Structure 1
Amino acid sequence: MSTGIGDTLREAREAQGRTPEDAAHALRLRSGQVRALEEERFGDFGGDVYARGFLKSYAVELGLDPQPLLDTYRAEISSGDPMATAPLVAPGSGIGVGGPRRRSAPPGWIAWVLVGVIVLAGLAFIGQLAGSRAPEQASSEPTEAPVAPADDGDAAPDEPTTGPDEPDEPDEPVAPAEGIELFLALEADSWMRVTVDGTIVFEQVASEGETLPFSGEDEVTVRFGNAGGVRVELNGEDLGTPGPRGSVVEVSYTPDGQSEA
């Protein structure tokens, strides 16, 4: 059932003579994400905090007042989810002013992690079965050392009975993740400086409710002026906030994960 949010976005875009690809380029999003907003497939964004951020950013890009759309979203889509209207979390507590808050629906990467765990568990079980075969019982009878044959002068030395050990085949390396897809969801106003592969691409105050996407090949470094007010998603994995509320933190994000700069 349509709430009218998608129709409002699509009509505003078409009135400006813009395609979904044009809007996606201006927002630094994928065209599929723009279409998901216009088709009200908000579940594609992995949680309310991300969906509301993308919705606000798209409305502002189209010159619309985002507040009526956000109010409709809360009333029609997130009415049963306290994450849509819950107060922000106090630093390090995990509990908002109004009581405990529930995390939004987990992103799709969790399913892949579970599949990986199941596969690894199966391989470990097979290895355990293969190694559980009891070795042959060594004889308790003492064995006499073999008597060296008499030296026959120029007799040829004994040929080795076994060939050289064949080297084990190396394990196939795991291919690293390609590139960086970073999403910053603002739960409070925060100044930020974002450096992508050595070039500063963003340096200003971002407002509460915004969701900012950044893409890189090797490294994206972010200096947060209010680390507890920004939720980070890296290549589909929700990393939470990089620090407590009000703290200044600088973090580097690579295809392999995150580290403090």
Structure 2
Amino acid sequence: MQEQSIGSTLATARRSAGLTVGQLSATTRIREALIYAIERDDFSLCGGDFYARGHIKSIARGVGLDPETMVHLYDEQHGGVPMPVRAATVFQTERRVKLRERRGPNWTMALGVALAIVVVFGVVRVMGGSGELPAAEVKQASAVPSVPPNTPFTEPPVVKPVKPVVVAKKDLVVVRIKAKRSSYLNVRDAEGRKLFAGTLHAGKSSTWRAASEVNLLIGDAGAVSLQVNGRNLGRPGSSGEMVRRTFGPSMPRPR
């Protein structure tokens, strides 16, 4: 079966939401002529892929569809996401860093300091001093803390490892999806955290676990089969249909 186009998907969602093109234009601030063209899969008025993705996101958000999913479908139908540009090829510098010249030792200053030390030592000798530091200062400078003899050895305290928080089995949702044909999937937990977003290819299967609930967005409901909490639910919809499903820990049926 031929895959549903971006424009027809957006148009169907707009009519299902009970919105006219004029109402959608007022909400998204996108010209009505541009919305009509996008619903006919004519993106030539958008001014390029970058602006087309932005318009698709705004329209999808206005009619209740997932913006990222619609942009993903647009990229699949129009040659994929543009290749990223390496920062090293954009930002290049030709300025050379000048290093300060390393200077040699200042022998004049060193000789001056040595001469001053000799003069001070000579004055101390003339005035009857021995030129040695007082015994108290020497003892203080050389003192090193020592451990008294026969001190019992104390072992360091044992740090017990922290046990990880385990989610009760009764609150856990286990969803397994097997793809008969390739289909786009968006899987999120109860807090909205992304568990998976991408294409599950034909013949592949994957399993996700989450507490409280699992929210699914399936691009082609007839291409996959579901198993929730060990119970087979079969295909969640017809071929080419985009569906949303939410599953909890106790009821394997969609809510």
Q: What TM-score does the superposition give when structure 2 sets the normalisation length?
A: 0.32
Task: Flag the structure with more relative contact order, 1 or 2, with Cα contacts below 8 A and sequence separation at least 6.
Answer: 1
Report the structure number with the largest CA radius of gyration. 2
Q: What TM-score does the superposition give when structure 1 sets the normalisation length?
A: 0.31
Greater helix content: 2
